[in-house]
Structure formats: structure tokens, C-alpha cells
Amino acid sequence: MSEHMALENLTVLDLTRVLAGPFCTMMLADMGANVIKIEVPKGGDDTRSYPPFRAKNLNGERESVYFANINRNKKGITLNLKAPEGKEIFKELVKKADIVVENYRPGVMDKLGLGYDVLKEINPRIIYAAVSGFGCYGPYHLRPGYDILAQAMGGMMSITGSKGGEPTRAGSALGDILGGLHVTIGILAAVNARTITGKGQRVDVSLMDSMIAATENTALKYLETGNIPAPMGNRYAAVSPYDSFTCKGGKVIIAAGNQKLYEKLCNEVLERPDMITDPRFVDMPGRLANQDAIAEVIEERIKDLTPNEAAELVLAHGIPAGPIMNIKEILDDPHAKEREMFVEMDHPTLGKVTVNGCAIKLMDTKPSVRTPAPQLGQNNRDIFEGVLGMTEEQFNTLHEKQVF
């Protein structure tokens, strides 16, 4: 394994808060980027006040574990970008940076005099990435954006939920996470483009766009059939049987995604070869139209098996299957453990804390969780004096003026 990290040569100025932007910069930091998180001097990132909390940290205070999870591996400074001195400090940092990431409403950075058109004159190689609810152009671009709006207006809620039920938000902030992933990909593409052109560029990602992209072939189904897709529970409109099935004490997923797998399921698990030639099930359109009948046979076969037992039975015949797992079961799962999807780290005020691991597995330059999330303004002196060359007298004067 290499002693290097994949993004160790990149410096990122992180102006983001809450989730979509911080998720992006967390990924960059996990892969080795030098991420400098810039927060407002009073209060900092909103998520410092988000649950879950450790009721008493090592200092006897309440502290957010949410913030600790999403901001690990970053350095932290405070800076008042409304103050003239704060603007100048930020511009000096831009000269030394590769990437700026922000998730303000479009136009905010321009009003501050720190938009892309200004920053690219300071550093033509700067990559300026913005993730917002609706992007930097279009009729909705000035609207405030939140995850639930992205899920609603991006089409995901309209196809999520029980059959015949109400549109349902995904259980996590999927719009924010997908927005964070898309802006990360955009940044890395822009870094590569810079090696070709020698110039940086602006990256614009919308939560709504990210959700539309994630609805996959929903638009195609409507355009080809004229039917508006609706919630189907755990079923999939293109494949059957591909669903959750009730067994003893829970549910199991069985995914017979092609004709060969369906025939193996009928012959080897259900012991019902007649279901292969039955006119109702002979091809995929027929199986999609008769999913209830198929489910009845499957559930009769597995009714006395637990979800794990049912999954093992089906897997033994080479058919994809797995139990529906809650978070406690995932934390205990040997595969998730070996893949390091939950990592325990030492935090200066929380003590031992478990955070999510990095889902990207680079086999040579391995991402890792190395340092805890910063305390508010923790690295002010390191950055302002060590990187920008500010004297102690200058530092103290600007601190007294509440520039940081």
C-alpha cells in the first residue's frame, strides 16, 4: 500500500454547512485533501447544534456527534466574510488553494464580493464548486433548498412508499447525500480538466437535479407508456420477482433479476417447475402483471424460516437474496465490519466516538478517518500565522475586531 493519499496535493476551502456540502468535503478529506473548514465566528456550522448529542462530553458539556461524524479529517477556522479584513484573508487563502466549496443560496457569494468571477482573477486555477437546492440558473435558482424539497420536486417521493399509499420521503437525507456525491464527482472531473486546460472552472450542482437523475428510468416509463409511475412498495417496475417477502419474524429480499434466475428459483427453491411454463409467468411482462400470485408461492415456501435462514436457502442456489437489516444488525454485521463502514476514533472532547467509514475503497491510496472534527476556530492560529504569515500582533488585533 502506498504511503501517499489520493488527494493529498489538493487544498480545499470549505464554506459549507449542514449536510450536502460537508458530505462532499468529508469525502475529499477522507481521501487525503487538506480541507480547511471555514465557519462563522459565532455558533459555527448549524450542525454543531444538531442531535444526536453526547449528553456530557469530557468537559461536562453537551456536544453534537452529528457534527463530529460529517466533519472529521478537516481543519477548522472561523472567519467573518462580511468584514473587509475577513474578505481579504479569504482572498489570500484562495491564492494558495485548489478548490472552494460553498452551499449558500446562489448569489450570496457574489453579494459578498467573493463569487467565482472575482476569485478566478485571484487564482485562475481555482475550482469553484457550489451545491444548492436548485442550481445557479433556472426559474427556481433563488429558492431556498432543503433535502425534502429535492425529494419532492425531483420525483423521488412520488415513487416511494407503499402501493396505493402516500408519497414518502426516503428515511435519510438522500437529496443532500446525492447532491454531495455529485458535487464531489464534479470537483474531481474539474481537477482532471485543469490538468488538460491549465484553468479551473465553476461546478454547479443542484439537489433537485441530483434527485431527478436518481429516479433512473421513471421518465422513460412515462414517456413510453403515458402512465405516471406510482409507489410500489419494495417492488421494481422492471423485474419480478424482485421484492421483499414475509417469513418468520421479518422479511427477506429475493431478487430473481433475469430468466435464468427465475427458473432456478422455481426449480430449486420453490420446487415448482410448472411456474416456468405457466402462461401467467412465462416472461417478464407476465410476471410483473402477476406479482401477487408469485409472492404467495414464495411466502408459503419460506413461512417457517427466519430472514437469515430464507436468505441462506436462496443464496445456496445462486440467487441474490438478503435479510432486511436494521442499523443494530448492520453494526454487528461481519461484512460491514471488515469493510470498515463504522470506525471508532478518539475525539478530544467526546472521547471514543464511532463515525461512518468511507465507502470508497482505493486499494493503494486508502481513504481513512485520521483526525477528529475541529473545535470551532481550532486552527485559526495555525492557518493565519503558519500559512498566511500573519504576525501575532496582527492576529490579536483582528481577533479583537471579531474578524475571526
Question: What are the structural domain ranges in the chain?
Answer: 11-214+337-401, 242-324
Mean pLDDT confidence for 35-63: 92
Question: Please, which pLDDT band fits residue 183 given cuts at 50, 70 and 90?
Answer: very high
What is the mean pLDDT of the segment spanning 149-158? 95
Q: What is the pLDDT of residue 238?
A: 85
Q: What is the largest CA-CA distance in the chain?
A: 86
The catalytic site residues sit at 176
Helices vs strands, H then E, count in the chain:
18, 13
Q: Which three cell numbers stand for residue 215?
A: 429516479
Dist CA 48 CA 45 (whole Å): 6
Q: How buried is 64 (Cβ within 10 angstroms: 0-12 exposed, 13-18 middle, 19+ buried)?
A: buried
Average confidence (pLDDT) over 11-21: 97
Q: Sign (positive/negative) of CA torsion 272, 278, 283, 284?
A: negative
Q: What is the average per-residue pLDDT within 27-37?
A: 98
Q: Given this model, what pLDDT does residue 233 score? A: 86
pLDDT for 110-122, tens place per residue?
999 999 999 999 9
Check residue 57 and give its pLDDT: 84
C-alpha to C-alpha distance for 46 and 27, rounded to whole angstroms: 19
237: pLDDT confidence band, cut at 50, 70 and 90?
confident
Please, are residues 151 and 215 in contact by the beta-carbon 8 Å criterion?
A: no
Cβ-in-10-Å burial (0-12, 13-18, 19+) of 56 comes to: exposed
**pLDDT value for 55:** 85
> Which residue's C-alpha cell is 455529485?
182
Cell of 345: 476514533
Please give the share of the chain, as a percent, with pLDDT higher than 90.
92
Label the pairing between strands 99-102 and 63-64.
unpaired
- Residue 159, pLDDT > 90, answer yes
Q: 178, 156 in Cβ contact below 8 A?
A: no
Higher-scoring residue by pLDDT: 236, 275: 275
Instruction: Specify the CATH superfamily of domain 242-324.
Output: formyl-coa transferase, domain 3 (3.30.1540.10)
Is the CA virtual torsion 39, 44, 48, 50 positive or negative? Answer: negative
Share of the chain above pLDDT 70, in %: 100
What pLDDT, on a 0 to 100 scale, did the predictor assign at position 60? 87
Per-residue DSSP letters for 29-41?
Answer: HHTT-EEEEEE-T
pLDDT band of residue 197 (cuts 50, 70, 90) is very high
Q: Is the pLDDT of residue 58 over 90?
A: no
Residues 6+ apart with CB under 8 A from 297: 270, 272, 275
Average pLDDT in the chain: 95
CATH fold of 11-214+337-401, please? Rossmann fold (3.40.50)
Q: Please state the rounded mean pLDDT for residues 207-213.
A: 96
> β-strand 342-347 against 351-356: which pairing, if any?
antiparallel
